[in-house]
Amino acid sequence: MLEIKNIDAFYGKTQALYDVSIRVNQAEIVALIGSNGAGKTTTLNAISGLLRPASGSIEFLGEKITGRKTFSIVEKGICHIPEGRRPFADMSVRENLEMGAYLPRVWKNREKALEQIFAVFPVLEKKQNLLARALSGGEQQMLVMGRGMMSNPKLCMIDEPSSGLAPILIAEIFRIVQTLRDQGMTILLIEQNVRHSLEIADRGYVIENGRVVLEGKGKDLLGDDMVKKAYLGL
Ligand code: ATP
């Protein structure tokens, strides 16, 4: 579905990605793991067109999207849920979700999209008329995920969804990510919670200092000595 080949990316003169190649197949969860500043968010930014790679290519559904404008990448079916969950605080939950349906082809079907989102996130249905600012941190994370899903994406990139949440909510967010995959969604996931993300990931990539240093099945990476030592504290 998504094929990143040999991309280099820079912020000004500083190189952030070196020859990064990543593949995501349909209905997979692919985890990107690595320490702070490794280049995970930069990789997502390159895919969604927020940062233009200096070299290499990115193909989505067989079409080159490298260097395209973000809106045309969203239109092709990629959604990017950035870290930091920022719903529109003074809009209702329902209005926030509707903001995710601004593409003309999606707007027509927004009621159906809402129904699907409410089936995955029942709490959003219950609280649809409340202002987003009244939601807990976990509910706000669900809201920004739901808002992204409203565009009916084929690939969803989620950056640090569990960051700052209590353990019970972290488990709930991971359960939802799995449910989305089981329903056929393809997910590229960044998580500091390495154990949990590799447990649910079909495959994963370890990024260090802007380079992919290891890739494999989620379960195999969990058993890898380097991963155990560097990311699992074992
Ligand atoms: P984190 O979990 O801390 O976000 P990350 O793996 O997502 O880590 P990136 O945010 O992709 O890392 O950062 C990769 C490198 O690029 C880091 O050295 C970072 O300092 C640098 N960087 C990120 N954003 C910018 C920016 N807007 N301008 C300049 N340098 C940046």
For all residues of the chain together, what is the average pLDDT?
A: 93
Does 161 sit in the ligand 1 pocket, CB within 6 Å?
A: no
Q: Which of 22, 40, 190, 194 to mutate to test the pocket of ligand 1 (most atoms within 8 A of CB)?
A: 40
Average pLDDT over residues 182-203: 94
How high is the pLDDT of residue 17? 97
User: Is pLDDT above 80 for 128?
Assistant: yes
How high is the pLDDT of residue 162? 87
Query: In whole angstroms, what is the distance from residue 61 CA to residue 81 CA?
Result: 20
Confidence of residue 38 (pLDDT cuts 50, 70, 90): very high
User: What are the CA-CA distances from residue 207 to residues 11, 15, 141, 192, 196 (Å)?
Assistant: 17, 14, 25, 12, 17
Measured in Å, residue 39 CA sits from the centre of ligand 1 at 6
The residue that leads in pLDDT, 168 or 190, is: 190
Nearest CA to ligand 1 atom 11: 39
Query: In whole angstroms, what is the distance from residue 146 CA to residue 140 CA?
Result: 10
User: Percent of the chain scored above 70 by pLDDT?
Assistant: 100
Does 39 sit in the ligand 1 pocket, CB within 6 Å?
A: yes
The pair of structure tokens assigned to 59 is: 């193909």
How high is the pLDDT of residue 104? 81
Does 153 sit in the ligand 1 pocket, CB within 6 Å?
A: no
Query: In whole angstroms, what is the distance from residue 111 CA to residue 108 CA?
Result: 8
